Structure 1
Amino acid sequence: MWISVALVVVLLAATTAVLLAISDLSKARSRLLDVVGPAVVSSQQLGADLVDQENGVRGYVLSGSADFLEPYENGLDRQAAARATVVVLDTPKVAEGVAAVDAALAAWRSEYADPAIAAVRAGSQVPGDAAGKQRFDAVRVALSALQAELAVQRAEGRAALNDAATNMAVTCIVALAVLLVAVLGCVAAVLVHVVRPLSRLREHVGTVAAGDFTHVVSATGPQELRVLGKDVDTMRTRIVDELDQAQQRNAALDAATEDLRRSNTELEQFAYVASHDLQEPLRKVASFCQLLERRYRDQLDERGVQYIDFAVDGAKRMQRLINDLLAFSRVGRHRDEQVVVAAGDLVEEARGNLSQVLEETGAQVEVGPLPDVQGEARLLTAVFQNLIGNAVKFRGEDAPHVRIDAEPRDDGMWEFSVRDNGIGIDQQYAERIFVIFQRLHAKERYAGTGIGLSMCRKIVEHHGGRIWLDTGTTAGTTIRFTLPGADVLAPVG
């Protein structure tokens, strides 16, 4: 801060000195050109005017012609203007010279010129020419003295102008030298008090940046650098603290990851057991119950047969539930290759898988123009198959009619809609229908495990999209979901 103040003070002082020198030069120049010079020229003009007056009087005396008085009278008029210019140079000697000229001129006029003009006009005796010549010689002497003084003033003005010019040149050189010294001094001060402390601070920061977070950052020099060093060290301390916390979090995350890996391993083991060991007893239960029914049906009453039917149905439903749970758990764990596939082909495959039920119910599946999407073809086919199957299952009195459309979105995703003319879904269940095992109807009325829509949700979110119930639909049901287009990399999760 003090370096800047010192440089500003030196700059102001140098500027002031140069401005004063320029002012002195301007004053000297103005006096010489605007005052002394015009006064010298006017004195010469004054001498010419006085000679014209003397010649006019002499010609009038000799010839008596009034035409000779014209130079005299014109000289009087020009004499006043010339005198006024000379008087502007207000110095004692110039004033004395002007007064001497005025006195000699007044004596010449009163003692010779005016009496001679009056005598010629009256036709009387004209005063002697020797007296007029003597008086006018006195005027010339006074005028010469005045002009000599003006010449002295002009020489002094030139000398003053030269001195002012020299002074200005010297002042400028000195000011430049002082400024150069001041700048060099400021540079040296900056190097000593700013650059060096800043370099040391940079070395401290570099040590910390290299990985030595225990290195204490300190700074010397100006107050600003010391504060900066303190702030940097405070930041280092916070980084160290946050790094310790991050390491602790990472350790906890590693432990949680290990627990998750172990849990996934156990889940895979459970899936294996569920797909093999658990289903085998169920198949035996169902098989022996059916065998029992065939062999002993004639010996059982109606209630006994009903009990056997209940047992067989429960075993089959348990098998379906296990299979659906296995399919649900496999979503996102056993990944196929992400490929670009035509959505129309996915719908056709889903229709082929449902061909029997579609034919039995007389269902119509109408498909609009569909785009290419990115994803796992097997899983995406399951989405369309579940939605079309639900539309057929939850049909009304009319034959099922399903309409599938798609439209682009601004984020590169495609929004699909599956619309049917079925019994519809109340908007209060818009979220519940996507929760696993959540059923809106009794199993006696509509078969199923309640996993279909939750499976769709998991598959769609696995591909970076989302699925929802269109609550604005007034008739039937409309399910909407988004999938990444062919040019968008699907964020698989």
Structure 2
Amino acid sequence: MTLLATITVALLAGVIVAGVVALENLESSRARLVDEIDPGLIGAQTLTSALLNQETGVRGYLLTGDRRFLAPYPQGLAEQARAVGQLRDAGAQPGTVPGADLDAVLARAGEWQRLADRWTAPGAPPVGVAQVEQSKAYFDGVREVLDVQRAHYADARADARDGLDASASFLQWMLVVVAVLLIVLFGALYLGFRRAIARPLQKLASEVRAVTDDDLNREVSANGPRELVELGADVEDMRRRIVAELAELKRAQDELQRSNSDLEQFAYVASHDLQEPLRKVASFCQLLQRRYQGQLDERGDQYIDFAVDGARRMQALINDLLAFSRVGRKTGEMAEVDTAKLVGQAMRNVEAVVEETGATITHGELPVVHGETSLLTGVFQNLLSNALKFRGEDPPEVRIEAERDGDDWVFSVTDNGIGIEPEYADRIFAIFQRLHPKSAYPGTGIGLAMCRKIVEYHGGRIWLDTDPPAGHTRFRFTLPVHPGTSRAERTESESP
């Protein structure tokens, strides 16, 4: 392909040189025709007209003897002088054919003019028929050389036109040849480009697409120009790094899954196994409290109260921990559920607190989602309980709303409670984390952690809105719009 391109370029250069020569010939022919032949032909016609005017005037005088007929003669002489100058300027110089023709015309015309000057001079004797015939004979000789001059100019003009046409035709053919050679050259360059760059680049792109389509074990290589080979090597290095990082990420993910599974199993076993001894402790403490209340001193009664309260709180913590560990382990049926009905059930579950606090709970239009009824009800109930628990001086006002954002429903629970500082936005979702002492607000501190686990189990996320309306607290969480995107269903689909 390189040899073909080289030959084509060489031919193209030769054709261009030939075209330049043809263009110069064309310009030379045009200049000769325009600058010499056409002006010379016009000058010859002017000279012929001037001599004919002279002959007309002399013949009229010779025939009539009236000098008034001589008027065209001096005018013709003046025109002759101008015509000769024009012919000299057009190239009729000595040593050239036009120059020789002009000299011949002037010589013959000079002989006739000398006779005419003698016959027409003032005081010259009258002339007769013989002089008229003699004048005609001399002027016929002038006509002959004028005809020769015109013929030479006509032939020169025809030759120049032929040369001009030939040069133009040759130049046109050169343009055609140049066009053909350019097409061949571009074709060769295109084929060379495809072979040297396009095909290797397409191969590299195909291998890269295969890698991006999850065929990460496919090696990427490239041939062709050095830059393309280096690009292929860079892509291969990147693929290997990605494979290594994904393997490390998979290992860490598996380790995290095992760790979470172990923690959940430990929490379940610990909470389940602790139930029986803790019930015994609580039962005996309550028995002591009922049987010996008032029989011990004040400090003894206080100790028994502390033991009973601690046992109850421990039972609550273990029950909460057990419920927390069961999320994702003991699951109910996933189905289409109306979140408005879930909110209604959650409101009934906290009805006593609502009546006690004079709270107002409202909600907008809520969607139907895919999930477990009991778990999602627990999310709304925990958020409502927090809103009612952490209230300010005014009666609680809680508003539940939902709006669609792409493939998610975004729920918001807004209240006019005491608020949460933004720096605690992550801490509040950790298990058993409290921002207030248990003496101020009852509870185990597991409610929001439970909400996060349930929401994530359904394929969503939950967070504290750090920029709520003034004087309000707002929690937001998402649930998928379409079924099949919750973690439970993904787990089921991935199971063998």
Residue in structure 1 matched with residue 433 of structure 2 by the alignment: 438
Count how many residue pairs are aligned between Structure 1 and Structure 2: 476
Letter of the structure 2 residue corresponding to residue 447 of structure 1: P
1:248-284 Cα deviation digits (max 9, x unpaired): x63x566555545544554454344345321111111
Alpha-carbon distance between aligned partners in 1 of 2:284 and 2:378, rounded to the nearest angstrom: 33
Displacement of 1:469 after TM fit? Answer: 5.0
1:197-276 correspondence to structure 2 within 5 Å: 225=224, 227-228=226-227, 230-231=229-230, 234-235=233-234, 238=237, 241-242=240-241, 245=244, 250=247, 256=252, 259-260=255-256, 262-276=258-272
Q: Is the 8 A contact 1:216 1:233 kept in 2?
A: yes
1:49-64 correspondence to structure 2 within 5 Å: 49-64=50-65
Displacement of 1:450 after TM fit? Answer: 1.3
* Aligned residue among 270, 284, 287 for 1:288: 284
Q: Is the 8 A contact 1:39 1:150 kept in 2?
A: no
CA gap of 1:270–1:410, structure 2 versus 1, over 3 A, is closer
1:231-380 correspondence to structure 2 within 5 Å: 231=230, 234-235=233-234, 238=237, 241-242=240-241, 245=244, 250=247, 256=252, 259-260=255-256, 262-297=258-293, 299-333=295-329, 341-359=337-355, 361-372=356-367, 374-376=369-371, 377-380=373-376
Residue in structure 2 matched with residue 479 of structure 1 by the alignment: 474
CA gap of 1:103–1:362, structure 2 versus 1, over 3 A, is same
Q: Could you state the TM-score of these two structures normalised by the residue count of structure 1? A: 0.76
1:126-179 Cα deviation digits (max 9, x unpaired): 356645654564454245224314423532443454356456656765886698
Letter of the structure 1 residue corresponding to residue 100 of structure 2: E
Q: Is the 8 A contact 1:10 1:182 kept in 2?
A: no
Residue in structure 1 matched with residue 106 of structure 2 by the alignment: 102
CA gap of 1:262–1:410, structure 2 versus 1, over 3 A, is closer
CA root-mean-square deviation = 4.6
Alpha-carbon distance between aligned partners in 1 of 2:22 and 2:113, rounded to the nearest angstrom: 49
Alpha-carbon distance between aligned partners in 2 of 1:62 and 1:35, rounded to the nearest angstrom: 40
Alpha-carbon distance between aligned partners in 2 of 1:486 and 1:203, rounded to the nearest angstrom: 40
CA gap of 1:413–1:72, structure 2 versus 1, over 3 A, is farther
Alpha-carbon distance between aligned partners in 2 of 1:213 and 1:435, rounded to the nearest angstrom: 40
1:12-51 correspondence to structure 2 within 5 Å: 12-28=13-29, 31-32=32-33, 35-37=36-38, 39-40=40-41, 42-44=43-45, 46-51=47-52
Q: Is the 8 A contact 2:338 2:368 kept in 1?
A: yes
Residue in structure 2 matched with residue 450 of structure 1 by the alignment: 445
Residue 141 of structure 1 pairs with residue 145 of structure 2: no
SS in 2 for 1:278: helix
CA gap of 1:97–1:268, structure 2 versus 1, over 3 A, is closer
Alpha-carbon distance between aligned partners in 1 of 2:185 and 2:384, rounded to the nearest angstrom: 87
1:163-219 Cα deviation digits (max 9, x unpaired): 56456656765886698689769978997x887777997999799999999999796
Alpha-carbon distance between aligned partners in 2 of 1:431 and 1:332, rounded to the nearest angstrom: 22
Residue in structure 1 matched with residue 125 of structure 2 by the alignment: 125
Q: Percent identity?
A: 37
1:309-334 Cα deviation digits (max 9, x unpaired): 22222111111111212233344555
SS in 1 for 2:398: strand
Q: Is the 8 A contact 2:222 2:232 kept in 1?
A: yes
Q: Is the 8 A contact 1:375 1:490 kept in 2?
A: no
SS in 2 for 1:118: coil
Letter of the structure 2 residue corresponding to residue 59 of structure 1: G
CA gap of 1:22–1:353, structure 2 versus 1, over 3 A, is same
Displacement of 1:75 after TM fit? Answer: 3.8
Q: Flag structure 2 segments of 5+ consecutive residues without an equivalent.
A: 489-496
Q: Flag structure 1 segments of 5+ consecutive residues without an equivalent.
A: 220-224
Q: Is the 8 A contact 1:436 1:450 kept in 2?
A: yes
* Aligned residue among 81, 87, 92 for 1:90: 92
Alpha-carbon distance between aligned partners in 1 of 2:410 and 2:291, rounded to the nearest angstrom: 58
CA gap of 1:273–1:51, structure 2 versus 1, over 3 A, is closer
Q: Is the 8 A contact 1:61 1:117 kept in 2?
A: no
SS in 1 for 2:433: coil
Q: Is the 8 A contact 2:455 2:479 kept in 1?
A: no
Q: Is the 8 A contact 1:340 1:486 kept in 2?
A: no
Residue 116 of structure 1 pairs with residue 120 of structure 2: yes
Q: Is the 8 A contact 2:22 2:170 kept in 1?
A: no
1:9-35 Cα deviation digits (max 9, x unpaired): 532431231242244245335534764
1:455-492 Cα deviation digits (max 9, x unpaired): 334444554333215566554x4123132474698664
Residue in structure 2 matched with residue 222 of structure 1 by the alignment: none
Letter of the structure 1 residue corresponding to residue 311 of structure 2: A
